[in-house]
């Protein structure tokens, strides 16, 4: 005989969050539907980490925006090594560095990097949508070929920007999947990047997806960072201390 689900006093709070709260209980366990939902979320997160980026489809979307794309490789030779050796995902292979140096010719260049990170699905679904909103309003920056790195970490953008002699780097990358968000996109911005730049020199815009930070808000925050960094001559914690415009819904 099945036992009834006992609701909790937190039930009314569920409407404010996607977090797993107020699940109730059935005997000493979770209700079956919540247990199965957790198993599905865990499977989606695992799949996101191991999925490959469809580089050809991404290139086609970028070309439709009038952007060239160049595929680059990190020092990680395959997905397994990329997951086990984060340091290799932060370094360019020599052939890619040489290829990028050939396009280092325009002043005030903005290095735009799209990296699969830990969620190819996030990049595939959201990266171009954000660029579509941001690129027409870049002001004085010029964008060279967009570098696509399937096995890239955030710091790979420093290596790419240095090879391209770029003034700033914008890395759009798939974030580590959570159990409610397997497709969350992050943007990392660094002004005057170089190999060895620290995380304290970066600004991050996180949780970009329809259920999280909207594309328009993410694009607006990025444009503010680009402008403010040039005025201040820095990025990271120093720039954050200057404040940023309120996002929709904030006060």
Looking at residue 38, its pLDDT comes to 83
- CA 46-176-83 angle, to 5 degrees, is 70
Looking at residue 1, its pLDDT comes to 46
Looking at residue 244, its pLDDT comes to 61
Q: What is the 3-state secondary structure of 47-59?
A: HHHHCCCCHHHHH
Which comes out higher in pLDDT, residue 159 or 38? 159
* Beta strands 142-143 and 146-149, pairing class: unpaired
Please give the structure tokens belonging to residue 155: 């710091």
Please give the structure tokens belonging to residue 39: 């198993």
Task: Find all residues with CB under 8 Å of 79, minimum gap 6, and list them.
Answer: 50, 52, 151
CATH code for residues 53-240? 3.40.50.11240
User: Environment class of residue 222 by beta-carbon count within 10 Å: exposed (0-12), middle (13-18) or buried (19+)?
Assistant: buried
Looking at residue 157, its pLDDT comes to 96
Is the pLDDT score of 91 beyond 50?
yes
| Count of CA atoms in the C-beta half-sphere (13 A) of 139 | 13
| Boundaries of every domain in the chain | 53-240
Is the pLDDT score of 250 beyond 60?
no
| Average of per-residue pLDDT across 171-185 | 91
The strand ranges marked E within the chain are: 69-71, 109-115, 142-143, 146-149, 168-174, 185-191, 202-208
Please give the structure tokens belonging to residue 128: 């171009």
Is the pLDDT score of 248 beyond 60?
no
Looking at residue 249, its pLDDT comes to 39
Looking at residue 208, its pLDDT comes to 97
Q: Kindly report, residue by residue over 76-89, the tens digit of the pLDDT.
A: 999 999 999 999 99
Question: Rounded distance, CA 155 to CA 63, Å?
Answer: 25
CB 128 within 8 A of CB 62: yes
Q: How confident is the model at residue 247 (pLDDT cuts 50, 70, 90)?
A: very low
Looking at residue 3, its pLDDT comes to 56
Q: How confident is the model at residue 251 (pLDDT cuts 50, 70, 90)?
A: very low
């Amino acid at each position: 005989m099945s036992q009834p689900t006992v609701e909790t006093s937190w039930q009314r709070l569920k409407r404010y969050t996607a977090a797993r709260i107020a699940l109730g209980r059935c005997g000493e366990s979770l209700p079956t539907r919540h247990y199965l939902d957790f198993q599905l979320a865990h499977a989606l997160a695992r799949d996101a980490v191991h999925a490959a980026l469809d580089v050809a489809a991404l290139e086609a979307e970028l070309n439709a925006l009038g952007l060239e794309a160049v595929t680059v490789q990190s020092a990680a030779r395959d997905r397994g090594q990329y997951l086990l050796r984060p340091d290799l995902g932060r370094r360019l292979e020599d052939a890619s560095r040489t290829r990028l140096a050939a396009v280092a010719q325009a002043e005030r260049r903005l290095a735009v990097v799209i990296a699969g990170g830990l969620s190819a699905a996030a990049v595939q679904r959201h990266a171009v949508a954000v660029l579509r909103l941001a690129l027409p309003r870049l002001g004085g920056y010029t964008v060279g070929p967009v570098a696509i790195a399937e096995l890239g970490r955030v710091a790979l953008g420093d290596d790419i920007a240095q090879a391209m002699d770029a003034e700033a780097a914008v890395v759009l990358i798939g974030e580590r999947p959570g159990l409610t968000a397997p497709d969350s996109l992050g943007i990392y911005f660094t002004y005057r990047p170089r190999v060895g730049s620290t995380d304290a020199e970066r600004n991050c815009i996180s949780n970009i997806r329809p259920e999280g930070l909207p594309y328009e808000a993410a694009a607006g925050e990025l444009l503010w960072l680009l402008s403010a960094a040039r005025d201040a001559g820095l990025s990271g914690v120093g720039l954050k201390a200057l404040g940023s415009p309120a996002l929709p819904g904030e006060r």
